[in-house]
Structure 1
Amino acid sequence: MKRLIVTTVASAALALTALNAPVATAAPGAPAGTIDFGPCTNPTLVAAGAQCGFLQVPMDYRRPHGKKIQLAVSRVKHKTPDSAFQGVMLTNPGGPGGSGLLLSTRGPRVPNHAGDAYDWIGFDPRGVGSSVPAISCDPNYMDYNRPSYVPFTPQLEQTWLNRARGYAEACRAKNDPDLLANMKTTDTVADMESIRVALRADKMNFYGYSYGTYLGQVYATQHPDRVRRMVLDSNVDVRDVWYRFNLTQDPGFDRNLNIWFGWVASHDDVYHLGKTQAAVKNVFNEQLLKLAHNPAAGVVGPDEWIDIFQQAGYYQLRWTLLGSAFANWVNKGDGATLKTLFEQFGGRGDDNGYAVYLAVECTDAQWPTNWNKWRVDNWITFTKAPYFTWQNAWFNAPCVFWPAKAGKPVNVGSRNLNSLLLIDETLDAATPYEGSLEARSRFPSASLIAEPGGTSHAITPRGDACVDNKIADYLATGTLPPRKPGRTADVECQPLPLPVPPPAS
């Protein structure tokens, strides 16, 4: 699906900026096993007092003396006396394909100064952003003028298949085949272990979001003796990596979009799009038909419209922004805002993120190579999730043709882990809640904080005291909510109240 991404709503734009920004004044090339930290150049990192550098690691850990790559790393050091130092906190924002450099600035967001005792470490995973080399395949693939997502004709279906094959072939032609063969989650987990060693940390703390929770679960499985504390927000269901996982996302996104329709209707005095969920939905569907013939601002058609409003299924914090864009298009013909939002949210120009997403997901586990299975499974899913099923299918379709051999997923779980804090909102669409319940069952030392009825994805800490204070307690003292019997959450917190739009002008 649109990448399992990323950090927080507030910092997402900055994270995208960091993909193309140099992080250190020194060129990559530090000796293997060390990070030669120096000044950063990204303004956000500079303002946080971060240090930046590169770590050299094997491209293929089975050939440690062979080709090398460079991982871009950032660090914001602890603010407490050394006597209170709690160790390094490695972070990952999700994706796969998300730049994590800015997550080293996350410490002050944890309440009660509980983050001050850690060295916060951000990094661009292999192939991502400022790491060297960075993967790219076709920078124009996510541009405007794409075929309609829903393949109602054989011609449309074949056009999309040709596009998907062409993208996979471009990835083969433009990237080192040895790197494409070593982009699995297990390779990044090995990089995480290399970072721990380079930082001379006996044990490591980790804060992972979205896909980053899968990195955390695999790391905790393979290196349980090296985990000190670990926070995983919005957990991947390890049983479904990755073909089935993407199919399970689709109904959740459609459900959350319909929840948003109801919220828009409840504020009809502001948006004037209908007083019932059904009325707002009808207006939304009318726009899909209208845009197919007359794209907004000349470029925003049905595909772009769906990409924009999928954000309503990710983050409630974006509901007011999207409500205004929807209303201003319908009531005022404002297509310029839609164009701007697509370029922020739709992936346009972020070929590196998309290429890395595929390089990881297409090789973590074998996807079906028989297109007939995709066709049947997606049309069945379409009956439950007509808005996002085929968008998601085409997003992942290059995996049918991917030019690197797939591996086998790790059998995740460990009874040797000391502690693990899991967090999830129960109507999270990108990582369905069942994934957090499954993670809890595989790690008997884990405790799960659930937010019943919440639809947002991977954005802690964000001002919900019930959740944030428990994160702070855990990071400060290792204290977890007591574990309850059965397949359930260990504590429930109410999600933040629904946003309230400003009054109509």
Structure 2
Amino acid sequence: MSRSSSSSPAHGMDDNGTDSEKCSLVRPQLPFKHAWNGRRIGVKTRAMLIVFSVLCLIYWGRVLQRPPPTGPIDWKPCYEDSSFLCGYLNVPTDYYNPSAGTSRLALTKYPATCPEPERLGIILTNYGGPGAPGRDASFGSGARIQNLTGNRHDIISFDQRGLGHSLPKVNCFGSGLRYQMFKTNTVFETTFSVPQNPFSAAGRAVLVEQQKQALALEETQGAMCAETVGAEALGFMSTTTTIYDMEEISRVLVGEDALINFWGGSYGTIVGAYLGNMLPHKAGKILIDGVVPADMWSNEHYDSQVLLRLLLTDSEKTYQLYLTECFNAGPDHCALSNAGDKSAKDIEKRIDDFVDGLQEQPMRVTNYTRPGYLTSGGVRSTFFVALQMPEMWVTYAEMLASAINDADGAPLMRMIASKYMDPAPAPDREGYIETGQGALLRLAISCGDARPFRKSEIWPTAEEIVDRILVTLKTYPRFGATVHLMEQHGGCHLWPGTGVGPTRFTVSNISVSLAIFKPVVQPTGSVQQNIGDTDVARRKHA
């Protein structure tokens, strides 16, 4: 996530701003300029809809054995951006067992600009993932969130347990380089290569072979994490534990009885739903953007593909939008377009022919730091990433056109196989060393939330998982066999550590921000955000 521009005044105003200006709401700049020819993208593309709903409060009667109070946070200017304050807070590792020790949370604060009497406390944030370090993300988004909410709140961001500067951290392989080498040239790096006819016996066999590799990789990384981090520590990295941590942060900063305000995007919508579920009596104003249905998140085995299909609902629609915009822009503005094209279908056919050709013969890439080969699965994964970032659409068209027209796959390889990390990276000013294991950070949270397999349930085989993938492919042929390995949707039965789960989903005073076109976490998820009567299994301390 990009940092705030250095030319922008701190806290979104100049030094001469009046008190009223310091406390005023800033109208969000939602429309984007057209990526190819300067026109605005259609209203449907970037329209944002704010929906307010008020649901009944249900008291969540679970009483914690409150550990001794933690001390105040020692805030200091962040070395990355001095307009932010950084600090650490020690929290109980297990809120039900004060003798279990403590974990450390890294926090940032973007202070409110209003005069003291007009300030309204804090807004806690979560920027998604799961696995997005809140500290780093806050430098690019904290000021924007504060401006949109009237500059009356301190914006508090934090690294969840296992992430970023917080401790303990998920460092299963000892270094980012070792994890990169573990994934190199496997389906963890390239995702599935999909045959032209995956529904034939031969095509299914190709997918099954790749899924067997995925299961072996999942089992290996799970064993590594159990040996190095430990199942006990991993068991306290779930979203439920994050809610307890948020309650503790709020208690330390604004008091025991303060309502907890929250702003979350993507996976952050899960955090918002859990907050309303677990602490309805403490849930303040909650805004969630890009909604993931919390009941599916907690109640479905990821290998079932049910959640993934919902997340992919608008992926084909977004893909077709990309092709249409490219055709309308023409070859002068979109490198994938040709002068003789009659419609967007011509562009689509060239891309399909290229990707299908890679399934038969991958493209060698020698002019890159990591020489290798370009596969159909790798190209699909790059396309899916690009679709989520309209500002990248022009550049991505040029990258893909280089591969199609000039047999130069290096630009795309940079998106698939990142440069190898330094074997001994230098720590930052606070001693933090990047571990480069984002996929494992995600699993620590998502598998901690996922419904565990019962003893009577049989683990899914590669064949069974592929049959579910084929169902997904029928509706989402471009990306149905791609995304589950881009973010490892599955394999939680091979992951060590069982998380702590909440009991019900009930939310109050919640605002939902929707994007009309988005390849993941689309509006359907918002409609299906069942936050009334969904029961979730309690997996610890029941």
Q: Which amino acid aligns with 2:381?
A: D
Cα deviations across residues 174-220 of structure 1 (Å, max 9, x unaligned)?
A: 21321111221101111111111121242232111111111011112
Q: Which residue of 2 aligns with 1:39?
A: 77
1:293 is aligned, of 338, 362, 387, to 362
Q: Which amino acid aligns with 1:413?
A: T
Question: Quick one: distance in 2 between partners of 1:375 and 1:249?
Answer: 18
Moved more, 206-215 or 297-306: 297-306
Question: Quick one: distance in 2 between partners of 1:82 and 1:217?
Answer: 30
Instruction: Quote the offset at 1:85 in angstroms.
Output: 0.9
Question: Quick one: distance in 2 between partners of 1:410 and 1:295?
Answer: 52
Cα deviations across residues 76-125 of structure 1 (Å, max 9, x unaligned)?
A: 21112112212111111011111111454435325967442211111101
Question: Quick one: distance in 2 between partners of 1:217 and 1:40?
Answer: 30
Equivalent position SS for 2:250: helix
Instruction: Quote the offset at 1:55 in angstroms.
Output: 0.8
Q: Which residue of 2 aligns with 1:386?
A: 477
Which one has the bigger helix percentage? 1
Matched, 1:256 2:318: yes
Equivalent position SS for 1:390: coil
Instruction: Quote the offset at 1:71 in angstroms.
Output: 0.6
Question: Quick one: distance in 2 between partners of 1:346 and 1:208?
Answer: 32
Identity %: 22
1:328 is aligned, of 383, 397, 402, to 402
Q: Which residue of 1 aligns with 2:154?
A: 119
Matched, 1:179 2:233: yes
Question: Quick one: distance in 1 between partners of 2:421 and 2:152?
Answer: 36
Q: 1:379 to 1:397 in 2, by over 3 A?
A: same
**Could you tell me whether the CA contact under 8 Å between 1:308 and 1:345 is conserved in 2?**
no
Could you tell me which runs of 5 or more consecutive residues in structure 1 were left unpaired when the two chains were aligned: 1-8, 15-30, 444-505
Q: 1:203 to 1:126 in 2, by over 3 A?
A: same
**Could you tell me whether the CA contact under 8 Å between 2:106 and 2:166 is conserved in 1?**
yes
Question: Quick one: distance in 1 between partners of 2:283 and 2:471?
Answer: 41
Instruction: Quote the offset at 1:346 in angstroms.
Output: 13
Q: Which residue of 2 aligns with 1:273?
A: 337
Instruction: Quote the offset at 1:51 in angstroms.
Output: 1.2
Q: 1:347 to 1:255 in 2, by over 3 A?
A: farther
Matched, 1:341 2:415: yes
**Could you tell me whether the CA contact under 8 Å between 1:60 and 1:178 is conserved in 2?**
no
Structure of greater relative contact order (alpha carbons < 8 Å, 6+ residues apart): 2
Equivalent position SS for 1:55: strand
Q: Which residue of 2 aligns with 1:78?
A: 112
Q: Which residue of 2 aligns with 1:130?
A: 165
2:506 is aligned, of 409, 413, 417, to 413
The aligned runs of 1:214-225 (5 Å cut-off) are 214-225=270-281
**Could you tell me whether the CA contact under 8 Å between 1:58 and 1:69 is conserved in 2?**
yes
Question: Quick one: distance in 2 between partners of 1:253 and 1:437?
Answer: 17
Question: Quick one: distance in 2 between partners of 1:350 and 1:256?
Answer: 33
Q: Which residue of 2 aligns with 1:446?
A: none
Matched, 1:311 2:394: no
Question: Quick one: distance in 1 between partners of 2:115 and 2:284?
Answer: 20
Q: Which residue of 1 aligns with 2:447?
A: 362
Could you tell me which runs of 5 or more consecutive residues in structure 2 were left unpaired when the two chains were aligned: 7-68, 174-178, 195-203, 423-433, 454-458, 534-542
Q: Which residue of 2 aligns with 1:27?
A: none
Give the paired residue count: 413
2:528 is aligned, of 438, 445, 450, to 438
TM-score (structure 2 length as normaliser): 0.69
Equivalent position SS for 1:320: helix
Question: Quick one: distance in 2 between partners of 1:110 and 1:364?
Answer: 27
Name the larger-Rg structure: 2
Q: CA RMSD in A?
A: 3.3
